[in-house]
């Protein structure tokens, strides 16, 4: 009996699937409804290129890509074309599809106004036009009674939120209008949308008060209002709200934070950072039982911290940094047993940390910087009992105390120990030797004495060591030259805690701003021992540290020569040996350090000739000053002249007397003329010559004017000085080829970027002239425009268009919320723009140009996030039929094609390889090189290739942008990137082919 039932069941299942298949076949074979077919043709006519998979000559539209028809009526019910690279206008004939239920045209390049007729599709349930370039406003009347999901995010409407959305669309559940350039206030009509579950209007210019009715919407769970101009919160009234996530951060809210959190019984995540809230934390928030994450960073809250952790059992992340909290750190905070990350930095606490902190079992990240704490010894004894503590930041505390030398201290999991700027005394203790998982150690800006312990070289994972600005003495331990993580490619480093960012102190390169690192792995591999009293010589074995990026030994008492073996530090970017007692010559082998961008041996006792070529041609005189026996390339000429003179004396004896007589007479006349000219010149001088090369406000005729290519504007060097405040470091916005880049506002109000080239005029004049001539001819919408240039004394200036949004590198890797704001459509558009610019340089520019340094920091973004290739300071002109050019400087670490390691040849195909790396950055959100990643994933290319080989390609994508809707397109771009990264240059595509692939999707390999 049982077997018969099973047999019958199988028959029914088979019949069911046969029926479904028949319905599907019928659907696909349906002839297009004439009204629908007309609407589709009208839709296509407004587009700039045809849609793949659409055949207008055939009327069977139900099997076209992205279209679903009803199996009975044959009418189109779904039209979904996300990430199809559609561009052009949006035809109002789309309204002919009057049975449409789902319309998804997101992540394309559609522009213009949304047709009014679209808002009359009475059957429409889902309308997604996000991530396009739509502009204009919304209609007053919106008749979408079936609407459930509306997403217009990431457009340029410059209008207010449509007040009519909830007049007829009362059943809407999801409303997303983020980054739509919206203005005005939130309309009260939204209160009619009683079924709303999710509202996101982040990153607009909405203003006024956050209305009370939002909190009364009976089904609302997520409310995202961050990054607007709201100034107040109207309140919540007496009713409760079902909201689980509330984000009001980055607005202009001030005063007391409303005490209304008892009306949010389900609230799990609350963020109000970067406002101007003051007063105390409301008691209803500090007693919220469901809360999981609280972020009140960067406000002006005062008073003691009071949390009822007996009720807040679910709290895992607490960020109260940069406020005005005072008193003692609360003793009962440890009762929040699930806390993993705590940031209390930059407040006004005093006293010691509570003994109860030893009870934290889940804590991984703790930052107490700048909190006026005392008793470091007790602090460490307490915190050593936190078994999972990974990052400990205690900057600017424990003033003048002694660094404990207690062998009983032991931290099992610690990877980052940061205790700088505390004026600590004592020696570097032995207990640090027990931090076997240590990756980062910063004890800088203290008053430590004694020697650097040799055990620091035994740490398997240590890659960042900062002991600068102390009073350490003795030799540099040779063991530091054997740090496995800096010289051994097979060492695997574990990832650090990513919970909260922490900060390094300001320095000159960051314009007074603190350096922010979101996690340990973001720190550069570094050994910084500057400003101590170290003696002895520099170990030749430092050349073994092939992973090291920064070596700073300045202001010590080191002696001996500069080892030629330092050229083995093939990743070094900063090498500072200034203010020591080094002697001998600068090794010529150092010119092989291809990534060296900061170098100084000033104020030593060096002699001989400064090496020339490659980066050494870009270093200014200040890198070598204070060495009286050191000379540049002109030294060889003067030595040769003296040698020739000595030989001449032996053969010209008969005319010596005549030469001497004439010589003395001539010298007397010249001396007299010199005195006359000198007196006249001194009368005209305003002041002594400054170190930066500007002697006065007087302008020399030959260097007076700024030359503009496109306009007849006349500016002087004084105008440039005023516009940059004499090139003050506060105006530095980047470092391009051969110099720093400054932001400037010219007298007419125009914003520009001015590159001040480094090095002597004689050293860089050739590069300057080449760059000016090249860029004056290179005119393309996706290149950074060179507007003009100026020569003044030993200075050279290039004036570029100003890019409002900075570099792609900044948005992907430095700006905290940058990756989130770069959705896939924007990233793809950036890649398409960059290849347009590169193809122009390779194919159309006369003469053709090899860029040689394609990277994300050389892709600048304007106010519309359009890409512009920058920094042609490294480019060389090519003859129309040349395929490569000899070069001295070849790119940036992580972007360099493999063939550049075999010969100094820059080629078009080398640029294509570097562009492939940029595509991987856009897809993954990761940097090209990250030495702290596990083995096999430290360099992005190797990791991606390995994941592809394991059929796990979809795991490499940035989770912030990856979803099923754009997965096919992202996999397609990944294939393009991998073709670019072929080890054989001949098998890589041309930039022209890439241009076609990225815009039309045709790959022929």
Q: Work out the mean pLDDT of the chain and round it to a whole number.
A: 80
Structural contact between residues 923 and 957, judged by C-beta atoms closer than 8 angstroms? yes
Q: CB under 8 Å to 681, separation ≥6 — which residues?
A: none
The pLDDT assigned to 592 comes to 87
Task: Judge whether residue 940 has pLDDT over 60.
Answer: yes
Residue that the structure tokens 């092939």 belong to: 546
Q: How many degrees, rounded to 5, is the angle at CA 247 between CA 245 and CA 248?
A: 150
Task: Judge whether residue 740 has pLDDT over 80.
Answer: no
* The two structure tokens encoding residue 341: 């990350």
The pLDDT assigned to 938 comes to 55
Alpha-carbon span 965 to 81, nearest angstrom: 9
Confidence of residue 745 (pLDDT cuts 50, 70, 90): confident
The end-to-end CA distance of the chain, in Å, is: 60
Alpha-carbon span 939 to 931, nearest angstrom: 7
- 3-state SS assignment for residue 1001: coil
| pTM (predicted TM-score) | 0.64
- 3-state SS assignment for residue 156: strand
Task: Judge whether residue 269 has pLDDT over 50.
Answer: yes
| CA atoms lying within 13 Å on the CB side of residue 939 | 11
Alpha-carbon span 885 to 872, nearest angstrom: 14
- DSSP string over 454-483: GGGGG-SS--EEE--SS--EEEPPGGGGG-
- Residue 709 CB: number of other CB atoms within 10 A? 15
Determine if the peptide bond prior to 110 is cis (ω within 30°).
no
pLDDT tens, residue by residue, 125-170: 999 999 888 888 888 888 999 999 999 998 888 889 988 888 889 8
Residue that the structure tokens 């106004």 belong to: 113
- 3-state SS assignment for residue 254: strand
Q: CB under 8 Å to 292, separation ≥6 — which residues?
A: 268, 269, 314, 315, 316, 317
Torsion angle in degrees (nearest 10) through CA of 837, 838, 843, 849 = 110
The pLDDT assigned to 220 comes to 95
The pLDDT assigned to 735 comes to 62
The pLDDT assigned to 421 comes to 93
Structural contact between residues 98 and 35, judged by C-beta atoms closer than 8 angstroms? yes
pLDDT tens, residue by residue, 214-257: 999 999 999 999 989 999 998 787 778 899 999 999 999 999 99
- Which of the 8 DSSP states describes residue 595? T
Confidence of residue 379 (pLDDT cuts 50, 70, 90): very high
3-state DSSP of 613-632: CHHHHCCCHHHCCCCCEEEC
Closest-CA residue to 345 (of 374, 319, 318, 368): 368
Alpha-carbon span 934 to 490, nearest angstrom: 10
The pLDDT assigned to 1001 comes to 59
Lowest mean pLDDT among 107-121, 610-624, 736-750: 736-750
Task: Judge whether residue 441 has pLDDT over 90.
Answer: yes
The pLDDT assigned to 1004 comes to 41
Q: 527 has which bridge partners?
A: 465, 551
Alpha-carbon span 93 to 479, nearest angstrom: 75
Q: Which regions of 356-487 does DSSP assign to beta strands (E)?
A: 365-367, 391-393, 416-418, 440-442, 464-466, 473-475
Annotated catalytic residue within 442, 576, 853, 958: 853
The pLDDT assigned to 570 comes to 86
Closest-CA residue to 785 (of 690, 708, 695): 708
Angle 908-924/940-949 helices, nearest 10 degrees?
70
The pLDDT assigned to 962 comes to 84
Could you give the domains of the chain? 536-637 (3.80.10.10), 702-801 (3.30.200.20), 808-1000 (1.10.510.10)
Closest-CA residue to 455 (of 475, 428, 433, 472): 433
Alpha-carbon span 487 to 575, nearest angstrom: 17
- 3-state SS assignment for residue 222: strand
- Which of the 8 DSSP states describes residue 148? -
3-state DSSP of 833-872: HHHHHHHHHHHHCCCCEECCCCCHHHEEECCCCCEEECCC
Torsion angle in degrees (nearest 10) through CA of 483, 486, 488, 489 = 160
Active site residue 853: yes
pLDDT tens, residue by residue, 446-469: 999 999 999 999 999 999 999 999
Structural contact between residues 796 and 761, judged by C-beta atoms closer than 8 angstroms? yes
Closest-CA residue to 967 (of 890, 932, 172, 959): 959
- DSSP string over 112-144: EPPPGGGGG-TT--EEE--SSEEBS---S----
* The two structure tokens encoding residue 882: 């040349």
Rg of the chain over all Cα atoms, to the nearest angstrom: 34
Alpha-helix runs per DSSP H in 579-655: 634-651
Q: CB under 8 Å to 261, separation ≥6 — which residues?
A: 267, 270, 282, 284, 285, 287, 288
pLDDT tens, residue by residue, 633-670: 434 433 333 333 333 333 444 433 434 343 444 443 34
Mean pLDDT of all residues in 696-713: 47
Structural contact between residues 948 and 915, judged by C-beta atoms closer than 8 angstroms? no
Lowest mean pLDDT among 240-249, 875-884, 941-950: 875-884
- Residue 326 CB: number of other CB atoms within 10 A? 14
**CA distances to 70, 235, 338, 649, 671 from 664, in Å:** 108, 95, 91, 18, 10
Q: Would the annotation count 712 as a binding residue?
A: no
Alpha-carbon span 66 to 82, nearest angstrom: 9
Structural contact between residues 199 and 241, judged by C-beta atoms closer than 8 angstroms? no
* Beta strands 149-151 and 183-184, pairing class: unpaired
Phi then psi for residue 648, to 5 deg, are -70, -30
The pLDDT assigned to 693 comes to 32
Confidence of residue 951 (pLDDT cuts 50, 70, 90): confident
Share of the chain above pLDDT 90, in %: 47
Phi then psi for residue 779, to 5 deg, are -125, 110
**CA distances to 415, 451, 577 from 444, in Å:** 17, 14, 18
Residue that the structure tokens 């314009």 belong to: 511
The pLDDT assigned to 145 comes to 94
């Amino acid at each position: 009996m049982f077997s018969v039932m099973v047999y019958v069941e199988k028959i029914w299942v088979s019949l069911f699937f046969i029926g479904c298949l028949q319905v599907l076949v019928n659907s696909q074979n349906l002839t297009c409804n004439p009204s629908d077919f007309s609407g589709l043709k009208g839709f296509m006519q407004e587009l700039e290129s045809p849609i793949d998979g659409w055949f207008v000559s055939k009327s069977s539209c139900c099997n076209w890509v992205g279209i679903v028809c009803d199996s009975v009526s044959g009418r189109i019910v779904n039209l979904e074309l996300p990430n199809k690279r559609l561009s052009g206008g949006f035809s109002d004939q789309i309204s002919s599809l009057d049975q449409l239920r789902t319309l998804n045209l997101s992540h394309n390049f559609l522009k213009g106004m949304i047709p009014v007729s679209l808002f009359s599709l009475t059957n429409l349930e889902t309308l997604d036009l996000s991530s396009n370039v739509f502009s204009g406003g919304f209609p007053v009347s919106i008749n979408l009674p079936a609407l459930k999901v509306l997403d217009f995010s990431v457009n340029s409407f410059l209008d207010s939120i449509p007040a009519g959305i909830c007049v007829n669309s009362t059943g809407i559940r999801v409303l997303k209008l983020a980054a739509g350039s919206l203005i005005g206030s939130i309309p009260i009509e939204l209160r009619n949308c009683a079924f709303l579950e999710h509202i996101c209007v982040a990153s607009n210019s909405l203003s006024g008060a956050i209305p009370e009715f939002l909190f009364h919407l009976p089904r609302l769970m997520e409310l995202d209002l961050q990054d607007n101009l709201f100034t107040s919160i109207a309140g919540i009234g007496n009713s409760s709200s079902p909201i689980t996530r509330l984000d009001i951060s980055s607005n202009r809210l001030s005063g007391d934070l409303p005490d209304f959190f008892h009306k949010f019984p389900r609230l799990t995540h609350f963020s109000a950072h970067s406002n101007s809230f003051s007063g105390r934390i409301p008691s209803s928030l500090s007693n919220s039982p469901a809360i999981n994450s609280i972020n009140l960073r960067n406000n002006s809250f005062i008073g003691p911290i009071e949390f009822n952790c007996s009720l807040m059992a679910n709290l895992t992340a607490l960020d109260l940094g940069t406020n005005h909290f005072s008193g003692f750190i609360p003793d009962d905070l440890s009762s929040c047993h699930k806390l993993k990350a705590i940031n209390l930095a930059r407040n006004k606490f005093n006293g010691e940390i509570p003994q109860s902190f030893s009870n934290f079992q889940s804590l991984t990240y703790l930052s107490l910087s700048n909190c006026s704490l005392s008793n470091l010894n007790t602090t460490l004894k307490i915190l050593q009992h936190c078994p999972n503590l990974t990052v400990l930041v205690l900057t600017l505390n424990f003033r003048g105390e002694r660094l404990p030398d207690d062998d009983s201290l032991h931290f099992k999991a610690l990877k980052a120990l940061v205790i700088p700027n505390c004026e600590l005394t004592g020696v570097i203790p032995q207990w640090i030797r027990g931090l076997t998982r240590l990756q980062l150690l910063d004890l800088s800006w203290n008053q430590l004495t004694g020697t650097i312990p040799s055990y620091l070289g035994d740490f398997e994972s240590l890659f960042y060591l900062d002991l600068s600005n102390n009073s350490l003495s003795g030799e540099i331990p040779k063991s530091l030259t054997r740090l496995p993580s800096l010289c051994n490619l097979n060492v695997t480093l574990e990832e650090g805690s990513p919970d909260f960012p922490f900060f390094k102190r300001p320095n000159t390169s960051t314009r007074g701003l603190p350096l922010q690192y979101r996690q340990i792995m973001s720190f550069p591999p570094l050994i910084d021992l500057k400003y101590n009293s170290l003696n002895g010589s520099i170990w030749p074995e430092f050349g073994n540290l092939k992973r090291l990026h920064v070596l700073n030994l300045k202001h010590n008492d080191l002696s001996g020569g500069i080892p030629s073996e330092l050229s083995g530090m093939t990743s070094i970017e900063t090498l500072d040996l200034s203010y020591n007692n080094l002697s001998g010559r600068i090794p010529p082998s150092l010119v092989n350090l291809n990534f060296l961008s900061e170098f100084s041996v000033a104020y030593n006792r060096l002699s001989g000739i400064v090496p020339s070529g490659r980066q050494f041609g870009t270093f200014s005189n200040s890198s070598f000053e204070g060495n009286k026996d050191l000379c540049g390339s002109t030294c060889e000429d003067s030595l040769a002249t003296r040698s020739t003179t000595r030989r001449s004396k032996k053969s010209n004896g008969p005319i010596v007397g005549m030469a001497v007589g004439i010589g003395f007479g001539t010298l007397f006349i010249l001396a007299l003329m010199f005195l006359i000219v000198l007196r006249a010149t001194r009368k005209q001088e305003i002041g002594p010559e400054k170190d930066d090369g500007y002697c006065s406000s007087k302008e020399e005729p030959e260097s007076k004017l700024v030359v503009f290519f496109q306009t007849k504007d006349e500016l002087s060097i004084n105008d440039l000085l005023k516009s940059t405040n004499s090139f003050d470091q506060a105006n530095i916005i980047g470092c391009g080829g051969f110099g720093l880049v400054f932001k400037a506002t010219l007298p007419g109000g125009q914003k520009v970027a001015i590159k001040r080239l480094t090095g002597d005029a004689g050293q860089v004049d050739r590069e300057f002239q080449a760059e000016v001539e090249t860029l004056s001819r290179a005119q393309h919408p996706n290149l950074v425009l060179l507007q003009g240039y100026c020569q003044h004394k030993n200075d050279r200036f290039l004036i570029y268009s100003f890019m409002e949004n900075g570099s792609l590198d900044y948005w992907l890797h430095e700006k905290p919320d940058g990756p989130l704001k770069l959705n896939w459509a924007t990233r793809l558009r950036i890649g398409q723009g960059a290849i347009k610019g590169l193809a122009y340089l390779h194919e159309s520019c006369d003469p053709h140009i090899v860029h040689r340094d394609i990277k994300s920091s050389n892709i600048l973004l304007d106010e519309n996030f359009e890409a512009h290739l920058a920094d042609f300071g490294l480019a060389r002109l090519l003859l129309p039929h040349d395929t490569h050019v000899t070069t001295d400087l070849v790119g940036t670490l992580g972007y360099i094609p493999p063939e550049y390691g075999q010969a100094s040849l820059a080629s078009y195909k080398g640029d294509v390889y570097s562009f492939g790396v940029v595509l991987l950055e856009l897809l993954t959100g990761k940097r090209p090189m990250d030495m702290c990643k596990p083995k096999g994933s430290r360099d992005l290319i190797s990791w991606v290739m390995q994941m592809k080989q394991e059929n796990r390609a979809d795991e490499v994508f940035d989770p912030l942008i990856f979803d099923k809707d754009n997965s096919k397109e992202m996999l397609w771009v990944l294939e393009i990137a991998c073709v670019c990264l072929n080890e054989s240059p001949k098998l890589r595509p041309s930039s022209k082919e890439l241009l076609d692939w990225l815009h039309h999707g045709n790959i022929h390999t």
